Amino acid sequence: MEDFTHHIHMALSMDLRFGRDIFNGVIGACRAGQWRWWLSSPMWIGSEPVDLAQAMPVRGVIGYMPTPSRAGEWPRKRIPIVNVAGCEREPPGVHTVTSDHTEVGRVAARHLIERGYESFAMLMVHPSAACRMRAAGFRECVEPVGPVRELCTQRGGELASFLRELPPTTAIFCANDAVARYAVVQLLMLGRHVPEQFAVVGVDDDPLYRNLSPVPLSSVDIRPRMIGRLAAETMRTLLDGGDCPQRQLLQPGEVIERQSSDLYAVPDPKIVDLLRRIRARATEGIRVADVLKPADGARRTVELKFRRYLKRSIGDEIRRCRLEAAREMLLSTSLSIEDIAYRCGFSDAGHFSRLFKSGYGKGPGQYRDGCKEI
């Protein structure tokens, strides 16, 4: 134990991305600063955490402690505590480092408004402080555009009734990915289609729920790894006797768009069908003529109608879908940029890199490395 300077306890569940990425952010800060911290976590079983605490007393706690009851016994020990959960008022003696949850709701709202939606719904299971702030940000942005219906329930029957009554072309914002995944399942069980009739957006970009959902989920990335890094830096300052702001809010990332919200609220069923064909075949190297059918009508008429609804051409939409597929591969695979370019239908890697940089502000390699850092 003599090699370690401090025992920092991580009061977080490691079951989900939020906890794991905060832990990884703390680890990253320790490595960058060469801090010799001994980290413990409640994920361990048996007497191990107790044995660790006896061998080296806890000197600080980083965790999910938005209320005095969650902070529990730690304040009585007079050690630094850094809360990473959303809270409306910090418990006494607790510093908070978390996402700007009100802005999370605004990010989701802007994403859906840009897709032409004018009818909105909002779902949550538990009215936690983070969920309430996300709801407030969402409501603030969408109410000037169209009506928003809200539901907070743990009862599946109430959720099914709520979803059954929603009009088609409603955009649904869910307080987290677990709720979003459940909403998608319920909609499909009701014979309703995602994203053709309903768009669904969650929060956390958790791969567990993303992969369990029958329709891949769009989600707001709140950047938990960055929260972990700043929480560790705050803890370091407090351990050294320095001062830190009582609350530090990080800006969330973007909506990571996937199938659950990748169509637009378009009133023309032929254009909706065309969008579906584009999404299904965009990575095959297709041209505009490859996705048009005789039943669509004259090509010029279809192209004018498409541009009127979506403010871009059919060719632009094909390229957008290819770039979205490529962006997802950059984040979720270790494939080379050349392999990704060819798999997504681009003629060569150079052309792909130029288009990607134009669309996302960074080349594909920089984008992948930047997201790893976060």
Segment 180-218, tens digit of pLDDT: 999 999 999 999 999 988 999 999 999 999 889 999 999
To which H or E segment does residue 123 belong?
Answer: strand 120-124
CATH topology agreement for domains 6-98+224-251 and 101-221+256-261:
yes
Tell me whether residue 271 is exposed, middle or buried, using C-beta atoms within 10 angstroms of its C-beta: 0 to 12, 13 to 18, 19 or more: buried
Model confidence over 137-164: pLDDT tens digits?
A: 999 999 999 999 999 988 888 999 999 9
Q: How confident is the model at residue 374 (pLDDT cuts 50, 70, 90)?
A: very low
Rounded distance between C-alpha atoms, residue 228 and residue 225, angstroms: 5
Supply the pLDDT for residue 370. Answer: 60
Tell me whether residue 330 is exposed, middle or buried, using C-beta atoms within 10 angstroms of its C-beta: 0 to 12, 13 to 18, 19 or more: buried
List the structure tokens of 85.
């959960």
Q: How confident is the model at residue 112 (pLDDT cuts 50, 70, 90)?
A: very high
Domain boundaries, the chain: 6-98+224-251, 101-221+256-261, 269-373
Rounded distance between C-alpha atoms, residue 348 and residue 352, angstroms: 6
278 close to 318: Cβ distance less than 8 angstroms: yes
Model confidence over 252-303: pLDDT tens digits?
A: 888 998 889 987 887 788 888 898 899 889 999 899 999 999 999 999 999 9
**Superfamily for 6-98+224-251?**
Response regulator (3.40.50.2300)
Rounded distance between C-alpha atoms, residue 223 and residue 107, angstroms: 13
Residues near 266 by beta carbon (within 8 Å), at least 6 away in sequence: 116, 272, 275, 309, 310
Mean pLDDT of the chain: 88
Q: How confident is the model at residue 369 (pLDDT cuts 50, 70, 90)?
A: confident
Give domain 101-221+256-261's CATH number out of 3.40.605.10, 3.40.50.620, 3.40.50.2300, 3.40.50.150: 3.40.50.2300
**Superfamily for 269-373?**
Homeodomain-like (1.10.10.60)
Rounded distance between C-alpha atoms, residue 39 and residue 16, angstroms: 18
* pLDDT over 70 percentage in the chain: 91
Supply the pLDDT for residue 312. Answer: 86
* Residue 167 CB neighbours (<10 A): 11
| pTM score of the predicted model | 0.76
Model confidence over 330-359: pLDDT tens digits?
A: 877 889 999 999 999 998 899 999 999 988
Q: How confident is the model at residue 119 (pLDDT cuts 50, 70, 90)?
A: very high
Q: Which long-range contacts (CB under 8 A, 24 or more apart) does 183-190 make?
A: 183/123, 183/159, 184/213, 184/214, 184/215, 184/217, 184/260, 185/213, 185/214, 186/156, 186/159, 186/160, 187/163, 188/214, 188/215, 189/160, 190/160, 190/163, 190/164
